[in-house]
Amino acid sequence: MSVIADNLQAVRSRISAAERAAGRAPGSVGLLAVSKTKPLADILAARAAGQFAFGENYVQEGVEKVLSTTVDREIIWHFIGPLQSNKSRLVAEHFDWVHSIDRLKIAERLSAQRPVTRAPLDVCVQVNVSGEASKSGCAPAEAAALCRAVAGLPGLCLRGLMAIPEPAADAAAQRRPFRQLRELFDQLRAEGLALDTLSMGMSHDLEAAIAEGATLVRIGTAIFGERNTP
Protein backbone atom coordinates (compact mmCIF):
# COMPACT_ATOMS: atom_id res chain seq x y z
CA MET A 1 0.00 0.00 0.00
CA SER A 2 1.08 3.58 -0.62
CA VAL A 3 1.54 6.13 2.15
CA ILE A 4 -1.59 7.91 0.94
CA ALA A 5 -3.57 4.68 1.06
CA ASP A 6 -2.32 4.06 4.61
CA ASN A 7 -3.26 7.61 5.59
CA LEU A 8 -6.72 7.23 4.10
CA GLN A 9 -7.27 4.05 6.08
CA ALA A 10 -6.20 5.83 9.27
CA VAL A 11 -8.55 8.76 8.60
CA ARG A 12 -11.46 6.45 7.86
CA SER A 13 -10.75 4.67 11.16
CA ARG A 14 -10.84 8.02 12.98
CA ILE A 15 -14.16 8.86 11.35
CA SER A 16 -15.65 5.48 12.30
CA ALA A 17 -14.47 5.81 15.88
CA ALA A 18 -15.91 9.34 16.10
CA GLU A 19 -19.23 8.14 14.70
CA ARG A 20 -19.39 5.42 17.37
CA ALA A 21 -18.42 7.81 20.16
CA ALA A 22 -21.16 10.25 19.09
CA GLY A 23 -23.82 7.55 18.69
CA ARG A 24 -23.94 8.23 14.94
CA ALA A 25 -24.84 5.59 12.37
CA PRO A 26 -21.84 3.93 10.70
CA GLY A 27 -21.15 5.59 7.36
CA SER A 28 -23.15 8.72 8.19
CA VAL A 29 -20.11 10.99 7.73
CA GLY A 30 -18.57 11.41 4.28
CA LEU A 31 -14.92 12.10 3.56
CA LEU A 32 -13.76 14.88 1.24
CA ALA A 33 -10.06 14.58 0.42
CA VAL A 34 -8.65 18.10 0.12
CA SER A 35 -6.14 17.83 -2.69
CA LYS A 36 -5.26 21.51 -3.19
CA THR A 37 -1.61 22.08 -4.18
CA LYS A 38 -1.09 18.31 -4.49
CA PRO A 39 -0.02 16.67 -7.76
CA LEU A 40 -2.34 14.57 -9.85
CA ALA A 41 -0.32 11.47 -8.89
CA ASP A 42 -1.42 11.90 -5.27
CA ILE A 43 -5.06 12.15 -6.31
CA LEU A 44 -4.74 9.01 -8.42
CA ALA A 45 -3.16 7.19 -5.45
CA ALA A 46 -6.11 8.18 -3.26
CA ARG A 47 -8.53 7.19 -6.00
CA ALA A 48 -6.87 3.76 -6.23
CA ALA A 49 -7.47 3.43 -2.46
CA GLY A 50 -11.20 3.98 -2.93
CA GLN A 51 -11.51 7.75 -2.46
CA PHE A 52 -13.81 9.48 -4.96
CA ALA A 53 -14.57 12.98 -3.57
CA PHE A 54 -11.85 15.63 -3.84
CA GLY A 55 -11.74 19.29 -2.81
CA GLU A 56 -9.85 22.13 -4.48
CA ASN A 57 -9.29 25.74 -3.37
CA TYR A 58 -7.74 27.32 -6.45
CA VAL A 59 -9.79 27.61 -9.63
CA GLN A 60 -7.18 27.14 -12.35
CA GLU A 61 -5.41 24.32 -10.55
CA GLY A 62 -8.70 22.61 -9.82
CA VAL A 63 -9.97 22.86 -13.39
CA GLU A 64 -6.73 21.33 -14.69
CA LYS A 65 -7.22 18.37 -12.37
CA VAL A 66 -10.89 18.00 -13.36
CA LEU A 67 -9.94 17.94 -17.04
CA SER A 68 -7.19 15.40 -16.34
CA THR A 69 -9.65 12.94 -14.76
CA THR A 70 -12.71 13.23 -17.01
CA VAL A 71 -12.50 9.54 -17.98
CA ASP A 72 -13.26 8.60 -14.36
CA ARG A 73 -16.95 9.43 -14.06
CA GLU A 74 -17.13 8.42 -10.38
CA ILE A 75 -14.89 11.26 -9.18
CA ILE A 76 -16.83 14.15 -7.61
CA TRP A 77 -15.07 17.52 -7.56
CA HIS A 78 -15.81 20.05 -4.82
CA PHE A 79 -14.69 23.68 -4.95
CA ILE A 80 -14.11 24.77 -1.35
CA GLY A 81 -12.08 27.99 -1.58
CA PRO A 82 -13.05 31.66 -1.81
CA LEU A 83 -14.54 32.39 -5.22
CA GLN A 84 -14.14 35.63 -7.14
CA SER A 85 -16.78 36.74 -9.61
CA ASN A 86 -14.39 36.62 -12.56
CA LYS A 87 -13.64 32.93 -11.90
CA SER A 88 -17.22 31.76 -11.35
CA ARG A 89 -17.82 30.53 -14.91
CA LEU A 90 -14.96 28.02 -14.74
CA VAL A 91 -16.31 26.64 -11.47
CA ALA A 92 -19.89 26.52 -12.74
CA GLU A 93 -18.79 24.62 -15.84
CA HIS A 94 -16.40 22.09 -14.29
CA PHE A 95 -17.19 21.36 -10.64
CA ASP A 96 -19.93 19.25 -9.04
CA TRP A 97 -20.09 21.11 -5.71
CA VAL A 98 -19.29 24.56 -4.34
CA HIS A 99 -18.98 24.95 -0.54
CA SER A 100 -18.05 28.61 -0.40
CA ILE A 101 -21.18 30.60 -1.30
CA ASP A 102 -20.93 33.68 0.93
CA ARG A 103 -22.93 36.26 -1.01
CA LEU A 104 -25.87 36.27 -3.38
CA LYS A 105 -23.93 37.74 -6.31
CA ILE A 106 -21.70 34.68 -6.53
CA ALA A 107 -24.68 32.33 -6.32
CA GLU A 108 -26.50 34.22 -9.06
CA ARG A 109 -23.46 34.04 -11.35
CA LEU A 110 -23.01 30.31 -10.75
CA SER A 111 -26.72 29.77 -11.42
CA ALA A 112 -26.61 31.68 -14.70
CA GLN A 113 -23.36 30.05 -15.82
CA ARG A 114 -24.19 26.42 -14.98
CA PRO A 115 -24.49 24.53 -18.29
CA VAL A 116 -28.03 23.32 -18.92
CA THR A 117 -26.55 19.98 -20.00
CA ARG A 118 -25.28 19.33 -16.48
CA ALA A 119 -27.14 18.52 -13.29
CA PRO A 120 -27.71 21.45 -10.92
CA LEU A 121 -24.59 22.51 -9.03
CA ASP A 122 -24.71 21.32 -5.42
CA VAL A 123 -23.86 24.22 -3.13
CA CYS A 124 -23.33 25.06 0.53
CA VAL A 125 -23.51 28.49 2.12
CA GLN A 126 -20.33 29.31 4.02
CA VAL A 127 -20.90 30.84 7.46
CA ASN A 128 -18.17 32.71 9.34
CA VAL A 129 -19.05 31.28 12.74
CA SER A 130 -15.89 32.62 14.42
CA GLY A 131 -16.30 36.16 13.12
CA GLU A 132 -12.71 36.31 11.87
CA ALA A 133 -12.01 39.23 9.56
CA SER A 134 -9.59 37.07 7.56
CA LYS A 135 -12.17 34.35 6.86
CA SER A 136 -14.74 34.22 4.10
CA GLY A 137 -18.35 33.47 4.90
CA CYS A 138 -21.53 35.34 5.67
CA ALA A 139 -22.38 36.40 9.20
CA PRO A 140 -24.57 33.89 11.08
CA ALA A 141 -27.36 36.48 11.29
CA GLU A 142 -27.37 36.78 7.49
CA ALA A 143 -27.25 33.07 6.71
CA ALA A 144 -30.98 32.33 6.72
CA ALA A 145 -31.84 35.05 4.20
CA LEU A 146 -28.94 34.05 1.95
CA CYS A 147 -29.93 30.39 2.09
CA ARG A 148 -33.52 31.16 1.13
CA ALA A 149 -32.36 33.29 -1.80
CA VAL A 150 -29.90 30.64 -3.01
CA ALA A 151 -32.52 27.89 -2.72
CA GLY A 152 -34.67 29.76 -5.25
CA LEU A 153 -32.03 29.97 -7.98
CA PRO A 154 -32.23 27.68 -11.03
CA GLY A 155 -29.13 25.70 -11.82
CA LEU A 156 -28.24 25.32 -8.15
CA CYS A 157 -29.26 22.84 -5.47
CA LEU A 158 -28.75 24.17 -1.93
CA ARG A 159 -27.46 21.24 0.12
CA GLY A 160 -26.32 22.77 3.40
CA LEU A 161 -23.82 24.86 5.34
CA MET A 162 -20.03 25.01 5.56
CA ALA A 163 -17.68 26.61 8.08
CA ILE A 164 -13.95 26.94 8.79
CA PRO A 165 -13.82 27.88 12.48
CA GLU A 166 -10.85 29.46 14.18
CA PRO A 167 -8.44 26.71 15.35
CA ALA A 168 -8.81 25.73 19.00
CA ALA A 169 -6.63 23.58 21.20
CA ASP A 170 -9.15 21.60 23.26
CA ALA A 171 -12.22 19.61 22.27
CA ALA A 172 -14.72 21.80 24.13
CA ALA A 173 -13.50 24.93 22.35
CA GLN A 174 -13.48 23.10 19.03
CA ARG A 175 -17.07 21.97 19.47
CA ARG A 176 -18.60 25.40 20.20
CA PRO A 177 -18.53 26.84 16.65
CA PHE A 178 -19.53 23.49 15.17
CA ARG A 179 -22.52 23.44 17.54
CA GLN A 180 -23.45 26.94 16.42
CA LEU A 181 -23.42 25.87 12.77
CA ARG A 182 -25.43 22.73 13.50
CA GLU A 183 -28.06 24.73 15.42
CA LEU A 184 -28.39 27.08 12.45
CA PHE A 185 -28.66 24.05 10.15
CA ASP A 186 -31.43 22.57 12.34
CA GLN A 187 -33.25 25.92 12.39
CA LEU A 188 -33.21 26.20 8.60
CA ARG A 189 -34.45 22.64 8.20
CA ALA A 190 -37.27 23.35 10.67
CA GLU A 191 -38.19 26.37 8.54
CA GLY A 192 -38.60 24.13 5.50
CA LEU A 193 -35.27 24.18 3.67
CA ALA A 194 -34.32 20.70 2.47
CA LEU A 195 -30.73 20.66 3.74
CA ASP A 196 -28.72 17.47 4.21
CA THR A 197 -25.07 18.56 4.37
CA LEU A 198 -22.99 20.00 7.22
CA SER A 199 -19.50 20.48 5.79
CA MET A 200 -17.28 21.03 8.82
CA GLY A 201 -14.22 19.50 10.42
CA MET A 202 -10.63 19.11 9.20
CA SER A 203 -7.59 17.01 10.07
CA HIS A 204 -7.11 18.48 13.56
CA ASP A 205 -10.75 18.65 14.69
CA LEU A 206 -12.80 16.09 12.79
CA GLU A 207 -13.82 14.30 16.01
CA ALA A 208 -15.32 17.51 17.45
CA ALA A 209 -17.14 18.20 14.19
CA ILE A 210 -18.61 14.70 14.03
CA ALA A 211 -19.71 14.95 17.67
CA GLU A 212 -21.69 18.06 16.69
CA GLY A 213 -23.31 16.59 13.58
CA ALA A 214 -20.95 16.97 10.61
CA THR A 215 -22.04 14.97 7.59
CA LEU A 216 -18.90 15.73 5.55
CA VAL A 217 -15.37 16.34 6.84
CA ARG A 218 -12.71 18.01 4.68
CA ILE A 219 -9.35 16.32 5.24
CA GLY A 220 -6.09 17.33 3.54
CA THR A 221 -2.99 17.14 5.73
CA ALA A 222 -3.88 13.82 7.38
CA ILE A 223 -4.19 12.22 3.92
CA PHE A 224 -1.66 14.00 1.71
CA GLY A 225 0.77 15.52 4.22
CA GLU A 226 1.56 19.19 4.68
CA ARG A 227 0.31 21.37 1.85
CA ASN A 228 2.65 22.55 -0.87
CA THR A 229 3.07 26.23 -1.67
CA PRO A 230 0.63 27.02 -4.49
Residue 155 lies in a domain: yes
Residue 170 lies in a domain: yes
pLDDT for position 169:
84
Dump pLDDT digits (tens) for 53-106. 999 999 999 999 999 999 999 999 999 999 999 999 999 999 999 999 999 999
Report whether 38 contacts 62 (CB < 8 A): no
The total of structural domains in the chain comes to: 1
At 34, the pLDDT band (50, 70, 90 cuts) reads: very high
Residue 196 lies in a domain: yes
Assign residue 16 the CATH number of its domain: 3.20.20.10
